[in-house]
Amino acid sequence: MQYRKALATLGVAAVPLMFAAPAQADTVDFTLNELNGSGANASATITTNSDGSMTVDITGSGFTPNMPHAQHIHGAASGDFFCPPASADKNGDGQVATEEGVPQYGGVMVSLTTKGDASADSGLAVERMPIADASGNLDYSRTVPASAIPAGITENVENLHIVQHGLDVNGNDKYDLQALGESVFAKSLGVKGIPEEATNPATCGEVSPSGSVETGAGSTSGTENMPLFAFGGAALLGTAGALIVRRRAAEAGVKS
Ligand SMILES: [Cu+2]
């Protein structure tokens, strides 16, 4: 009798104890490997906080010096995405371009800007993206508010990817048209003259250790945010170019 009573007491007590456990910050490590022979790599952590925000820390090197590098958390709340292999290079130019890689690593979920909006809408806000220092180092730290993060993303951090864009193929320390020509993706929106170097991915990061290429995430369209990238390329050319892209994108009926 006494024993059963004790058990019952335990049972009652255990339930509130389980639910009373405080929501704890959870940190996931990412390893960002070079894409497209960029020479860049980075390590990162994403910490999900109890208020629904995410703290993202990135430490990288080998980036095009003094140039902005658009960076995003790609993936989705569920599904199956991965960092693109070299075979994703469909046009055979030796580079996995934005439009070639996005279907594999997923759409933009969070824009890792330095200030202001961090939603997918800022995917191409190059003026608010981090700039590599004169030695090509790129360090970044920001807590992204819950309001900028799509539903289900903080619950699916292990399946997300971090992608950093912008690389210097011909070694002149800038984005130019000589190396790879125009950005095919920007051109597809009717905007000419944006270097492919400015829009191609330089790193892609999966959860560490990267024993398996596939980490899984995302059932939503991997292409819906692709036009955002052209906005960034246009920003490199100035506001007028960006406006043209937005208008063309609007005419094409794509999300901006
Ligand atoms: Cu991206």
User: Tell me: the pLDDT tens digits for 6-23?
Assistant: 444 444 444 444 444 445
Mean pLDDT of the residues in the chain: 77
Query: Confidence class of residue 189 from pLDDT cuts 50, 70 and 90?
Result: low
In 114-220, which ranges are E strands? Answer: 138-144, 161-165, 201-207
Residue with the bigger pLDDT between 221 and 34: it is: 34
Domain boundaries, position 114: 25-252
Q: Calculate how far, in angstroms, residue 139's C-alpha sits from the geometric centre of ligand 1.
A: 17
Q: Residue 113 is encoded by which pair of tokens?
A: 């800007």
Query: Ligand 1 centre and the CA of 71: distance in Å?
Result: 5
Tell me if 175 is assigned to some domain.
Answer: yes
Report the Cα–Cα distance between both ends of the chain, in Å, rounded: 68
Is the per-residue pLDDT at 229 higher than 60? no
Q: Measured in angstroms, how far is the CA atom of residue 226 from the centroid of ligand 1?
A: 9
85 occurs within a structural domain: yes
The rounded Å distance from CA 23 to ligand 1 centre is 30
Distance between CA atoms of residues 162 and 105, nearest Å: 9
CATH code where residue 44 lies: 2.60.40.200
In a domain, 13, yes or no: no
CA of 166 to the centre of ligand 1 (A): 10
Contacts of 6 by beta carbon, 8 Å cutoff, 6+ apart: none
Q: Does 14 reside within a domain?
A: no
Structural domain includes residue 102: yes
For residue 196, report the distance from its CA to the centre of ligand 1, in Å. Answer: 14
Instruction: Give residue 10 CA to ligand 1 midpoint distance, Å.
Output: 51
Q: Would you say residue 33 lies in a domain?
A: yes
* Ligand 1 centre distance from Cα of residue 24 (Å): 28
User: What's the CA-to-centroid distance between 56 and ligand 1, angstroms?
Assistant: 15
Residue 115 lies in a domain: yes
Distance 1 CA to ligand 1 centre (A): 64
Q: How confident is the model at residue 209 (pLDDT cuts 50, 70, 90)?
A: low
Tell me, in angstroms, the distance from the centre of ligand 1 to residue 251's CA: 23
Number of folded domains that form the chain: 1
Per residue in 112-163, pLDDT tens? 999 999 998 888 788 899 999 999 999 999 999 999 999 999 998 988 899 9
How many angstroms does the Cα of residue 25 sit away from the middle of ligand 1? 25
Q: How far is the CA of 4 from the centre of ligand 1 (A)?
A: 59
Report CA(109)–ligand 1 centroid distance (Å).
9
Q: How far is it, in rounded angstroms, from Cα 173 to Cα 64?
A: 6
Burial of residue 137, with CB atoms counted within 10 A of its CB: 0-12 exposed, 13-18 middle, 19 or more buried: middle
Give me the mean pLDDT over the 229-248 stretch.
38
Q: How far is the CA of 64 from the centre of ligand 1 (A)?
A: 16
Residue 217, CA distances (Å) to 18, 30, 40, 75, 147 in order: 29, 15, 24, 6, 21
- 33 CA to middle of ligand 1, Å? 14
In a domain, 3, yes or no: no
